[in-house]
Amino acid sequence: MSTPGAATPVAASIQPATGKLGIMTVGMGAVCTTLIAGVEAIRKGLAKPIGSISQMGTIRLGKRTDANSPLIRDFVPIAKLDDLVFTGWDIFGGNLYDAAKTAQVLDSVTLEKIRPFLESIKPMPAAFDQHYVKRLTGTHIKSGKNKRDLADQIRKDIQEFKKKTDRQVVIWTGSTEIFLEPTAVHQSLAAFEKGMEDNDPGIAPSQLYAWAALTEGIPFINGAPNLTVDIPAMNELSRKMNAPICGRDFKTGQTFMKSVLAPAFKTRMLGVSGWFSTNILGNRDGEVLDEPGSFKTKEESKLGLLEMILQPDLHPDLYKDIYHKIRINYYPPRADNKESWDNIDIFGWLGYPMQLKVDFLCRDSILAAPLALDLCLFMDLATRTPGLRGLGIQEWLSFYFKAPDSAPGVYPEHDLFIQSMKMKNTLRHIMGEDLITHLGLDYYGE
Ligand SMILES: NC(=O)c1ccc[n+]([C@@H]2O[C@H](COP(=O)([O-])OP(=O)(O)OC[C@H]3O[C@@H](n4cnc5c(N)ncnc54)[C@H](O)[C@@H]3O)[C@@H](O)[C@H]2O)c1
């Protein structure tokens, strides 16, 4: 039975996850190869899907005394890992075994065990323009008379893949593009489609893939901080085609920690006067982010969160003067093993200052790959769920993003634990289970 006031549950009408789910990745670098190699290693029983909520997470149903917490993958009808099929695009040719070696994330013992599988996947030529990613020079790219022509070529690639798979998801695991502000060309689908014909500079390659995917009725996930789908034109197309979209930029290392610590300070009404964040990383992503245009895109995506969580307008005594600084430094010796430092200046009772230091020696793509997997599986679920697929933005997946997307006029939710509750309650809701409010008074009834 569902909570009074909640919308009608739709469990009975969710289409089953039968057949093959095709995952198309735009960009086949570190995150993509770690995702695909990881899925294959897990399918072969060589490793466990650690970090994946869809595979290892549980969901409590009913009261605490019911002791009923199934695995999420047994509770909701998501695709099985055995049913996943992969393809994608990159500006470099070759195969995924070579790409994984270049990325230097997974060790050669793991890669050799799945080498034939990885060698069998070869990127399709990409829609690319160096104006949008200045540090890369593409060698495996499409040519066309204008942006519309390139987008139509991507549609043809998707149509071919549709012949081999039953359902599809497109995920951007490509490089960070230069910072773009929304302009007139992004305000409606008609303006956007005309802009593709006119080669409007406001339309980046990532938006050609997004347009092609959504036009084909396929959900689009954005793992990078690019503007891509966070514009009215894509929202319109997404709703028109029942092809979901969600936020941008995987919430993996430093921002993941921020979205845990900032709510902790706020919930205890501790003040924050400064938050200095710096990173060193040496992978190709780090090289791209070393360029000011791409860094600006990343910086914007990372900056918004503190203000959204701390709400200085509601709590001016605690948060109105925060000095928030973010730095990303390209440092090749570390490759994908990023180090991020945070120095946080906080203050407590009577304004007495304190400091907290965080040094996170993380592995970027090891943190990102399970998020990419979950998003593919949940976005496919959303596309099969009548109460979700027509919404456009899937706010319940905010959990995964540095910059979650939300309906116009609604501020996005950044607090990791609120995001987690929102996601689990959405799953309960679509399956017709009671939502969990954590009220708990009924355990102490008179
Ligand atoms: N690794 C993480 O923890 C993490 C976290 C959040 C966001 N991201 C973002 O995810 C993206 C991928 O990260 P990565 O570490 O895999 O980077 P990467 O450089 O290893 O891979 C990106 C790939 O995209 C390709 N590419 C660039 N433009 C393209 C285009 N137009 N079409 C097709 N392919 C294109 C590049 O050739 C490259 O192979 C980046 O934008 C990064 O900022 C990564």
Instruction: Look up the CATH number of domain 9-250+365-430.
Output: 3.40.50.720
36 with 121: CB under 8 angstroms? yes
What are the residue boundaries of the structural domains of the chain, listed by start?
9-250+365-430, 254-361
Best mutation site among 101, 104, 175 for ligand 1, i.e. most ligand atoms within 8 A of its Cβ? Answer: 175
Answer whether 395 contacts ligand 1 (Cβ < 6 A). no
Give me ligand 1 centre to Cα 32, in Å. 8
Contact by Cβ (8 Å): 27, 169: no
CATH of domain 254-361: 3.30.360.10
Q: What is the number of other CB atoms lying within 10 angstroms of the CB of residue 184?
A: 11
Which of ligand 1's atoms lies nearest the C-alpha of 287?
A: 19
From the number of C-beta atoms within 10 Å of its C-beta (0-12, 13-18, 19+), residue 12 rates as exposed
Q: Whose CA is nearest to atom 17 of ligand 1?
A: 285
CB neighbour list of residue 330: distance below 8 Å, 6 or more residues apart: 280, 281, 282, 286, 287, 289, 290
The pTM (predicted TM-score) of the whole model is 0.94
Residue whose CA lies nearest to ligand 1 atom number 3: 364
- 368 CB less than 6 Å from ligand 1? yes
Between the CA of 31 and the centroid of ligand 1 the distance, in Å, is 7
Instruction: Point out which residues pair with 339 in neighbouring strands.
Output: 280, 361
Ligand 1 midpoint to CA 312 (Å): 33
Q: Is the CB of 328 under 6 A from ligand 1?
A: no
**Which atom of ligand 1 is closest in space to residue 253's alpha carbon?**
3
pLDDT in tens, the chain (446 residues): 344 444 455 677 999 999 999 999 999 999 999 999 999 999 999 999 999 999 999 999 999 999 999 999 999 999 999 999 999 999 999 999 999 999 999 999 999 999 999 999 999 999 999 999 988 898 899 999 999 999 999 999 999 999 999 999 999 999 999 889 999 999 999 999 999 999 999 999 999 999 999 999 999 999 999 999 999 999 999 999 999 999 999 999 888 999 899 999 999 999 999 999 999 988 887 888 888 878 887 777 677 888 889 999 999 999 999 999 988 889 988 888 889 999 999 999 999 999 999 999 999 899 999 999 999 999 999 999 999 999 999 999 999 999 999 988 898 988 899 999 999 999 999 999 999 998 888 888 76
